[in-house]
Amino acid sequence: PQNLTFSFGLSQVGEFAFVLSNSAREAGILSQESMDTLVAVVALSMVVTPLVMLINDRWIQPRLCDPDKNKPRREHDVESEENPVIIAGFGHFGNTVGRFLRANNIGATVLDTDSDNVDTLRRMGFKVYYGDASRHELLEIAGARQAKLIIIAIGDEEKRLEMIETIKKHFPNLRMLVRATNRNDAYSLMNAGMLHIYRETLDTSIRMGVDAMKLLGFRAHETTRLAKTFFKEDERRLKYLSSIRNADEYVIAIRKYVEELEETLRADRDMLRSGVEEGWDERQMVEERSQAVEEDR
């Protein structure tokens, strides 16, 4: 693109001819008539150059740089399959869900719009269709009418919301499980009526917190239990927080929520510890211990 700008810019250099032509006329090489024509041509080119550059910037370069914008690089190849699950988006998120389902013998029809990704995955032995799952006719072909649920695993927030509206309208019986970028995106998805929302880094970041505590010497089963409480509380509050529209109110609500969460976990910790000290009933102890062993494995 840089080169192209320069090529167009070069037409400006033509004007340099004007300077030369003037000297030429003075030396008697060019007649007054030829000179007049030349002046007109050069003057015109000076007016046209910025226009050509503008056209280049606005219409030509955007198409060269992003050919996908105006037409898809290839036709969809979605085929009819009678699977109970449709997966929209097979990047690292959708891919993991897909592998887990497949490993459990559950059929899933997979759609992805990244042409290179589709090819790579096929070479790796995955059955992936090239096609945009936000187009209702492709969802129809993919079997959205027979399927029980759709995994919306694409990374683009806007596109996800579009897809949800399409599905609500055309396939009201299809259950949606939706990936969310973060807390704010989860609020948007809640407001779009979604019930199954998965904040993409939530679980892993909690696991990291658990491991940090273990490295600091905390007991495995205690931290795992605290993590479960943390997770449940965080999900529970999400709905309430999503209803707050006012920014100042939101800040106050978050402050309050964080304090309450600390309080809840403190109570949980105290209970766990006093329980162990005073001696729990045996079955509970055995259970706790075997769980901890399993989690450590």
Closer CB to its own copies, 19 or 137, in the complex: 19
Minimum distance from CB of 113 to its own copies (Å)?
Answer: 18
Closer CB to its own copies, 75 or 281, in the complex: 281
Closer CB to its own copies, 215 or 277, in the complex: 215
Closer CB to its own copies, 46 or 76, in the complex: 46
Among 138, 202, 238, 244, binds its own copies (CB under 8 A): 202
Question: Could you please report the per-residue DSSP string of the chain?
Answer: -HHHHHHHHHGGGGGHHHHHHHHHHHTTSS-HHHHHHHHHHHHHHHHHHHHHHHHIIIIIHHHHH-GGGTS-SS---------SEEEE--SHHHHHHHHHHHHTT--EEEEE--HHHHHHHHHTT---EES-TTSHHHHHHHTTTT-SEEEE--S-HHHHHHHHHHHHHH-TT-EEEEEESSHHHHHHHHHTT-SEEEETTHHHHHHHHHHHHHHTT--HHHHHHHHHHHHHHHHHHHHHHHT---HHHHHHHHHHHHHHHHHHHHHHHHHHHHHHHH---HHHHHHHHHHHHHHH-
* Options 62-70, 74-82, 118-126, 132-140: segment touching its own copies (CB under 8 A): 118-126
Does 164 sit near its own copies (CB under 8 A)?
no
Does 123 sit near its own copies (CB under 8 A)?
yes
Among 72, 159, 200, 241, binds its own copies (CB under 8 A): 200
Closer CB to its own copies, 138 or 177, in the complex: 177
Closer CB to its own copies, 165 or 296, in the complex: 296
Minimum distance from CB of 75 to its own copies (Å)?
Answer: 25
Q: Site map for its own copies, 258-277, x if CB under 8 A? A: xx-xx-xxx--x--------
Closer CB to its own copies, 43 or 137, in the complex: 43
Does 42 sit near its own copies (CB under 8 A)?
yes
Cα 14 from Cα 12, distance rounded (Å): 5
Strand partners, 180: 199
Does 29 sit near its own copies (CB under 8 A)?
no
Does 125 sit near its own copies (CB under 8 A)?
yes
Among 8, 56, 90, 101, binds its own copies (CB under 8 A): 101
Determine the straight-line distance between the first and last CA of the chain, rounded to whole angstroms.
55
> Of 132-151, which residues contact its own copies (CB under 8 A)?
148-149, 151
